Amino acid sequence: MDAAAMERSLVRIAHEIHERNAERWTDVVLVGMRARGDLLARRMAEYLERDRKVRVPVGALDITLYRDDVGTRSALPKSTEIPGSVDGKTIVVVDDVLFTGRSIRAAMDALMDYGRPRAIQLAVLVDRGHRELPIRPDYVGKNIPTPASSNVQVEVAEVDGRDQVTLEEEV
């Protein structure tokens, strides 16, 4: 995906989130998973304000200590920023790539430490398949079937200087 395709996908996802939750819009919170999902969530909030004239709170979720491989990876926890209480809210978790589902499971565990949401929905820019857990996204920018041995790399301008999604074969 190039920058234009990424933007089209994020705008479409943002509009789908609004349409699905329009009746309870004041209870919706976008929470992006660090390190790219939080940036995508902020962009979607900007698109919603621009196109739909609605504001949505945006937060960032660090799942480092909730991962099931926490002892096998060297990663320093980052900050989690949840805007207000999650109790009774519809939390839309935003991530860049959905693969095995383990990161999403960790995100749900982390969110539960902040309260009891009414619902959790999942928005991903790329769904590459190969699920190991029974997790299914509610909103998908693009389905990219991949070999399990490959890697989908999402680059965002805020971090990488450009927007693009690439497939790296055989990692």
- The residues facing 90 across adjacent strands are 28, 119
Nearest residue to 63 (alpha-carbon basis) of 84, 82, 78, 73:
78
Proportion of the chain above pLDDT 90, given as a percent: 89
pLDDT, the chain, mean: 94
Q: Quick check: 40 and 14 in contact, CB under 8 A? A: no
Tell me the pLDDT band of 70, cut-offs 50, 70 and 90.
low
Lowest-pLDDT range of 75-84, 149-158, 160-169:
75-84
Q: Regarding predicted confidence, which is higher, 151 or 171?
A: 151
Q: According to CATH, what is the number of the domain 3-168?
A: 3.40.50.2020
Looking at residue 74, what is its pLDDT?
57
Looking at residue 16, what is its pLDDT?
98
Q: Quick check: 63 and 79 in contact, CB under 8 A? A: no
In this structure, the strands spanning 90-98 and 28-33 are parallel
